[in-house]
Amino acid sequence: MSNPIVIRGVLLMALAIAGTAQSGDYPDPAKLPLKADLPDPLVMFNGKKVITKEQWLKSRRPELKKLFEHYMYGHAPKAPKVIAKIERIDKNALGGKATLKEITLSFGRGDGVKIHVLLVIPNKRKGPAPVFVGMNFCGNQSVLADPKIRLNPNWMYGNRKGVKGNRVTDASRGTDVDVWNVEDIIDRGYAIATFYSGDIDPDRPDQRGIQKNFGTEYDWATIRAWAWGYSRVIDYLVTDADIDASKIIAVGHSRLGKTTLLAAAFDERIAIAIPHQAGCGGTGPNRAAFGNKGAESVKRINTSFPHWFNANFKKFNDDVERLPFDQHCLIALCAPRPVLLSNAVEDKWANPDGQFNMVVAADPVYKLLGSKGVASKKMPAVGRLMNSPLGYWIRDGKHSMNREDWRVFLDFADKHLKRK
């Protein structure tokens, strides 16, 4: 469709901190002190209190990022050169409501790794569009029932509709239409950019994705690799004239919700983060005392998904109280940008009560930075959106993402992007 676009000048962003914290910089997990209470996000690793915005921005925030890298998510490489090739443009998508673009991102390394991006932009708009960005579970062809969207060529979860032999078929087209609700997003004036998580990492303990193409000094696990991929897609989006680079909203469900929060914490180009039902390792507390009884634990997630986090995090399986942070600190890294945690009543595994506790525990950082933070320390009623910069939403139902959720996501974005 067009010549490749080499993206420069947008690469040295928040995710550029890579590999700086080596094993000798911090104690072995077994040597960390026990702390039953939630660690104070406004206290440095050495015990010094953080009382000014400058201390947070110059000292504590960079320190927390390094602590999360070292003890949980791993270190990622700096952003490489990103080459974007627009494969197809359809200016009459969704019955003329939208322009659809299929874009392939590669990294000039000759390793064959590519991220396939589906970008759908409203035609009825004034100026560049705000954009939701999120990874999908089954390839871009599952998001819309458009026969022209390319079938994803990579390994696929075998339990997804239209997948045979871990490869998608035409039967997978449009199978996640009700998950993504693209037409509703377009009708509200937003663009949507989505890409398959397996383009970056196949989510298998016996295989590595993009990590194998970089040096062994990087201990990035799957969730960190996915978050790194988020930022590479944003590298493209900020160059697209149809997109408002100041209004990028990251959204993700379940394991991809964990990734959404991590991406927002490390990439400040993300204006709003909406990690949906993200649970343990994302928006739920690692310390079990601060959440729902029976919610997923650190030990369980590391046993079931050993590839999601780095080797150090597994050392906390039976010793979570030695962690020098909890997940409220990851939320705090997004401050003062808005973050919405969303949940479902029957999804106890994702720890909805514990997630609300994380929102409340992040509030002091938001207040320090001049944000209104959380509107109340009382969990909102089912079906009622707490639409403060630190937001919370819980609905009836189970672990899923649906049209009702998107209505809330859009309402949250409207308020905090001041669109209405």
Q: CA geometry: angle at 404 spanning 222 and 152, to 5°?
A: 40
Residue 399 catalytic? yes
Asked whether the bond before 77 is cis by omega within 30 degrees of 0, the reply is: no
Residue 172 catalytic? no
Q: What is the pTM of this model?
A: 0.94
Active-site residue identified among 59, 371, 399, 400 = 399
Q: Which residue type occupies 50?
A: V
Report how far residue 142's alpha carbon sits from residue 323's, in angstroms, rounded to the nearest whole number: 39
Which ranges of 177-218 would DSSP assign to H, the alpha helix? 177-180, 182-187
Q: Over its length of 420 residues, how does the chain's per-residue pLDDT go in tens digits?
A: 455 555 543 333 333 333 333 445 799 999 999 999 999 999 999 999 999 999 999 999 999 999 999 999 999 999 999 999 999 999 999 999 999 999 999 987 666 789 999 999 999 999 999 999 999 999 999 999 999 999 999 999 999 999 999 999 999 999 999 999 999 999 999 999 999 999 999 999 988 889 988 888 899 999 999 999 999 999 999 999 999 999 999 999 999 999 999 999 999 999 999 999 999 999 999 999 999 999 999 999 999 999 999 999 999 999 999 999 999 999 999 999 999 999 999 999 999 999 999 999 999 999 999 999 999 999 999 999 999 999 999 999 999 999 999 999 999 999 999 986
Q: Which helix (H) or strand (E) holds 207?
A: none
Q: Which domains does the chain have, with CATH numbers?
A: 5-15+76-416 (3.40.50.1820)
Please state the length of the chain. 420
Active-site residue identified among 106, 142, 172, 254 = 254
